[in-house]
Amino acid sequence: MYELHSPVNHKAVAKYMGYYLIAFTFVLVVPTIAALILGNVEAAIDYGSTAAVVFIIGTVIYRALPDYELETKEALIIVALVFPISALLSAIPMSLTTGMTFIDAYFESVSAVTTTGLSVAPPDVGPVFLFARSWGQWVGGIGIILVVLSVLIRPGTTASRMYKANYGDMKIKPTVIATTRTLGKVYIIITLVSIILLLMSGMSLFDSICHALCCVSTGGFSTRAESIGAYQGSLIPAAISISCLLGAVSFVLYPYLFKKPEKFFKNLELRAFLAFTTIGVILFAFTLAKENMEYNLIKDSLFQVISAVSTAGFSTVDLSILSDASKAVLIFMMWIGGNIGSTAGGIKVFRVLLLFKVVHNVLLRLFLPRETLTPIKIEEHIVESDEIYNLVTFMLLYTLILVVSSFIFMLYGVNTNNSVFEVSSALSTVGLSAGVTSTAMPVTLKLVLIIDMLFGRIEIIPLILLFMPGTWIKIKRVNKRSGEI
């Protein structure tokens, strides 16, 4: 992590947060329309009035400040601010329409925009709530930043830095604006495919829409308390699995599917993702068989492992009664996660592959002269030293957050396995629960999971920068030798 030598430009951050608030208005308008269609006028008023206030605030900020070119650090701060503020704005009408406490509504909203799927909602919250949080997951999956880039911001350095802060260096078009619009089209298409698959499998229209929004965003919220286990037969779980896999594959690959299919199917990260999934299915089935679980081994193992590794978080079985070995398999799958450039969370398959390459390179160099150059290469990409430093930093922080969060759960009497499972689910934005997450969970543990979910979605470093004093104020440093500032 680098040290900020100068604070961010507060006015520049505020200017683009004004852009964001205007864009988020349209996110709140959709549940307003849905509430009217579903006949809940009171909910429509709550969502509509919130949208109006957000639009006014965003417009005032936007018009009051001049245009600025964003620096990289400012783009990172904006990305870090977007998700907690999105959850805050969504929680207001959610709390008003359901009667939930604000902390519970904020938990649901964070779980939605981070595409996690952990829930503390009471039963019978109503269809408006179910749709609103599914819609929140869908928007959180592709990211508000994409909406801002596609619609409101002109091409240029600012657009490029905001894109890189949120999506990295992957581009499939000459400009980032064209790339974001292509990614948006891909997202909409696979969502429509998911809706059609679910309708054909026998789901109702409302359930199909809600589940499709959560599948392709690898979110995991369901309209049923028992999740996918509430549905009979194999067609619906199969359709859900396919939809989750669509969301967990890098969106950058989809344009090649029809133009250059060999580039799609030969992608190393995709093949590794499928290999990890296959290994996970075999191990999970083995643990179920060893414990004599009365489940359909092939169907339930395949579904549950896909749900874990894609970080979707749907379930067909009661996870609370699984053995520690079965939970351990799912924990490893949640840690791995999906492909970079997808909506999936977790460490990501590319980082896992890079970690293996680094370990292999270290072992290889033990048998070579010190001056021998041994570059690390993944397909055609030569890994730079900065990428390795970033990987080590990310893995260290990820592990530290996992350990500290799990320890807090243990202090509240949760056993080690369930503590690690629940925290891993939040930190990898999965949403599977071993039965710990509920309305009755202590507020402290809810706050821990909220922070973990934000860390998982924002990917740790931008969120840490948000709370560094040097981000916002100029820190005077004294030269110890001369005594000068």
Q: Concatenated DSSP letters for 241-280? A: HHHHHHHHS-GGGTTHHHH-HHHHHT-HHHHHHHHHHHHH
Token pair of 430 as six digits? 């999965």
pLDDT of residue 153: 54
pLDDT of residue 1: 40
Q: Is residue 305 part of a domain?
A: no
Q: Is residue 361 part of a domain?
A: no
Burial group, residue 174, by CB count within 10 angstroms (0-12, 13-18, 19+): exposed
Backbone angles phi, psi at 445, to 5 degrees: -70, -35
Q: Is residue 339 part of a domain?
A: no
In this predicted model, what pLDDT tens digit does every residue of 292-332 receive, in sequence order?
Answer: 665 566 677 889 999 999 999 999 888 888 889 999 999 99
Q: How many CB atoms lie within 10 A of CB 455?
A: 23
Eight-class DSSP state of 346: S
Which helix (H) or strand (E) covers residue 381, if one does? strand 381-382
pLDDT of residue 257: 83
d(CA 347, CA 214): 20
d(CA 113, CA 203): 25
Q: Is residue 446 part of a domain?
A: no
Query: Nearest-5° angle of CA 302, CA 305, CA 308?
Result: 150
Which helix (H) or strand (E) covers residue 377, if one does? strand 377-378
d(CA 41, CA 54): 20
Cα–Cα separations (whole angstroms), residue 386 to 2, 268, 347: 11, 22, 18
pLDDT of residue 256: 85
* Antiparallel, parallel or unpaired: β 377-378 and 381-382: antiparallel
d(CA 212, CA 193): 9
Q: How many domains does the chain have?
A: 1
pLDDT of residue 198: 96
Q: How many CB atoms lie within 10 A of CB 195?
A: 22
Q: Is residue 26 part of a domain?
A: yes
pLDDT of residue 410: 97
Q: Report helix angle 127-142 to 72-98, nearest 10.
A: 170
d(CA 190, CA 142): 12
pLDDT of residue 95: 94
* Contact (CB, 8 A) for 120 and 439: yes
Contacts of 248 by beta carbon, 8 Å cutoff, 6+ apart: 218, 273, 309, 310, 311, 312, 337, 338, 339, 342, 343, 344
Token pair of 126 as six digits? 């109503």
Single out the residue of 123, 325, 310, 154 nearest to residue 230, CA to CA: 123
Query: Nearest-5° angle of CA 90, CA 96, CA 102?
Result: 65
Q: Is residue 111 part of a domain?
A: yes
Q: Concatenated DSSP letters for 104-159? A: HHHHHHHHHHTT-----PPS---HHHHHHHHHHHHHHHH-HHHHIIIIIPPSSHHH
What residues make up the domain containing 134? 1-169
d(CA 84, CA 79): 10
Q: How many CB atoms lie within 10 A of CB 288?
A: 23
Q: Is residue 139 part of a domain?
A: yes
Single out the residue of 471, 472, 476 nearest to residue 4, CA to CA: 471
Contacts of 9 by beta carbon, 8 Å cutoff, 6+ apart: 68, 71, 74
pLDDT of residue 386: 80
* Contact (CB, 8 A) for 412 and 70: no
Q: Looking at the chain, how many residues does it have?
A: 485
Q: What is the mean pLDDT of each run of 10 residues along the chain (485 residues)?
A: 64 86 90 95 95 94 83 80 92 93 95 93 89 93 64 55 58 65 86 95 95 93 89 90 92 84 87 94 86 65 91 88 91 92 88 89 81 76 81 92 97 95 95 91 96 90 81 64 51
pTM of the full structure: 0.90
d(CA 445, CA 24): 29
d(CA 360, CA 357): 5
Token pair of 219 as six digits? 């979110």
pLDDT of residue 453: 95
